[in-house]
Amino acid sequence: MTKSAILDYVGRKAGMDYFSVRMHRELCKIGVSNTLYTNFEVPHDPGVRQVFSFDSAGVSKAKATLRYALGILRAFQGIRREGSQHFIFHYFKGGLREALVLELARWHGQRIHLLVHDVERLDQSTPQNWLKDLIDNFLRRRILGRGCHHAYTFSQAAADELLHHAPGLKDRLTVLRHGHFLDLPLPVPTQAQARQELQIKEGTMALLFFGQIKESKGLDILLEAMNLVHDPDIHLIIAGSARDVDPQDLIQSLVEPSVQNQIHLHNRYISDQERDSLFKACDALVIPYRRIYNSGVLMMGLSYGKTVIASDLPANCEIIQNGVNGYLFEDGNPSDLAQNILGLKNASNRPTFEAIMNPLRAQHSWDLMAQQMKPFLGH
């Protein structure tokens, strides 16, 4: 039997737990003996092993690095013990830390499979350092050039850019369709209960911006659009922890004083229960991103049956068909975004629930993703 291991050091810190658990379960269903090493446990599933600490808030960088290193060592102890042959790794920044992990995997005789989420670094939370950037670029080319058995992206746009940086991957690259989260909504609260809990008044249209707050996510574009909307019945909820921008500073500097009371900021880690209430309560999810290769938040919004308004980046256009299962606005254009928001409020023919759900069921099942990976997980 083929044995594999997924290493997910992000896990619950940024919502990767939903992704990793579903991939783990589907690989097991198609006959792959898989173990997931991460920062959480799943009741009654011994195949999910917690090797990393989850709570790193307030922990020094040195202590966090030590915890990470110990988690990596624990994961590879498990890999040796289980006799895994294939190492499946969530690839983000492509720097020294990831390169060392992949070297360890090679030393353990693993065939390396990269789940490429970001082709280039999107997080600017650490200061620019030319030497570090030079080393990271060298390591990224090395990893992508000859450091993996197979690589996977979650959009054709990401694949095209990846091949521009690493043309040698052409015969070792597969585009997977990001899986849906249709089983994520909890039975309670209902939408009415969620709106009451969040104190959303009757007749208010609630927009949601959800996830880590980074410069690349374009929150400033959405805030400028709220000025142009200038409708007291349209409110914006911002929920997620800040990375490389201060959302409160953005609100103070960009939003007109008369509009600021329509902006509701939750700048912190959002629990699963809170996330469920937020998605149920909102009328629409806004994705104003400047750069993106794939979006779990977009898939989550669609999975809750919500209308999505997204920037017309290539990766978004692969999922959203304008006017059918959501709306697209011109990337970086607050005026066009404002027109879409106002149009949604006044629309009598919003995307139907089935128009949103049907593409998810047909094109974004986790079973399909696992079946696409299976041929590359042979001996």
The values of phi and psi at residue 207, to 5°, are: -100, 145
Residues whose CB falls within 8 Å of the CB of residue 55, separated by 6 or more in sequence, listed in order: none
Residue 123's pLDDT band, with cuts at 50, 70 and 90, is low
Is the predicted pLDDT of residue 122 greater than 60, yes or no?
A: no
**Confidence (pLDDT) at 128:** 64
Residues 317 and 373 in one domain: no
Is the predicted pLDDT of residue 78 greater than 80, yes or no?
A: yes
Q: Could you tell me which of 102, 63, 95 has the C-alpha nearest to residue 79? A: 102
In a domain, 186, yes or no: no
314: preceding bond cis by omega (within 30 degrees) = no
Residues 139 and 206 in one domain: no
Residues 370 and 263 in one domain: no
Share of the chain above pLDDT 70, in %: 96
In a domain, 344, yes or no: yes
Question: What residues make up the domain containing 201?
Answer: 191-362
Residues 342 and 368 in one domain: no
Residues 141 and 248 in one domain: no
Is the predicted pLDDT of residue 191 greater than 60, yes or no?
A: yes
Is the predicted pLDDT of residue 57 greater than 80, yes or no?
A: no
In a domain, 238, yes or no: yes
Q: Could you tell me which of 39, 44, 42 has the C-alpha nearest to residue 75? A: 39
Residues 115 and 195 in one domain: no
In a domain, 306, yes or no: yes
- Secondary structure class of 86 (helix, strand, coil): strand
Residues 57 and 149 in one domain: yes
In a domain, 83, yes or no: yes
Task: Report the distance separating Cα 341 and Cα 234, nearest Å.
Answer: 9
Cite the beta strand spans of 25-149 per DSSP E.
33-38, 48-50, 86-91, 111-116
Residues 201 and 250 in one domain: yes
In a domain, 184, yes or no: no
Is the predicted pLDDT of residue 225 greater than 90, yes or no?
A: yes
Is the predicted pLDDT of residue 149 greater than 90, yes or no?
A: yes
Q: 10 Å Cβ neighbour count for 325?
A: 20
Nearest 5°: the CA angle 90, 140, 296 is: 30
Residue type, 64: A
Q: How many domains does the chain have?
A: 2
More confident residue, 255 or 13: 255
In a domain, 145, yes or no: yes
- Secondary structure class of 151 (helix, strand, coil): strand
Cite the beta strand spans of the chain per DSSP E.
3-7, 33-38, 48-50, 86-91, 111-116, 150-153, 173-175, 205-210, 234-239, 263-266, 284-287, 307-311, 327-329
Task: Report the distance separating Cα 276 and Cα 287, nearest Å.
Answer: 18
Is the predicted pLDDT of residue 113 greater than 80, yes or no?
A: yes
| Domain CATH for 371 | 3.40.50.2000
Mean per-residue pLDDT over the chain, rounded: 92
**Confidence (pLDDT) at 127:** 61
pTM: predicted TM-score of the whole model, two decimal places: 0.92
What's the burial of 271, exposed, middle or buried (CB within 10 Å: 0-12/13-18/19+)?
exposed
Residues 213 and 124 in one domain: no
In a domain, 66, yes or no: yes
Can you tell me the mean pLDDT for 197-206?
94
Residues 202 and 160 in one domain: no
What is the per-residue burial (b if ≥16 Cβ within 10 Å, else e) of 69-97?
A: eebbeebbebbeebebbbbbbbbbbbbeb
Residues 30 and 119 in one domain: yes
Q: What is the DSSP string of 203-260?
A: TPEEEEEES-B-GGGTHHHHHHHHHHH--TTEEEEEES-BSSS-HHHHHHHHS-HHHH
Residues 34 and 51 in one domain: yes
Is the predicted pLDDT of residue 254 greater than 90, yes or no?
A: yes
